[in-house]
Amino acid sequence: MKKKIRIGVMGFGRIGRNLFRLGYANPLLDFVAISDLGE
């Protein structure tokens, strides 16, 4: 069994959303945190 890669995304704009969308389907990636500025 391969070890999962834990990922934290800083910024959830265009690039952050695309990164999450592509990586979410990969079972080896584990998104543990997403940070973005609020209004």
Residue 37: what pLDDT?
Answer: 87
Residue 6: what pLDDT?
Answer: 96
Residue 1: what pLDDT?
Answer: 72
Query: pLDDT tens, 1-39?
Result: 789 999 999 999 999 999 999 999 999 999 999 999 877
Report the C-alpha gap between 22 and 38 in whole angstroms: 24
DSSP class of residue 4 equals P
**What's the total number of domains in the chain?**
1
CB of 35 closer than 8 Å to CB of 13? no
Q: Which domain holds residue 14?
A: 5-35
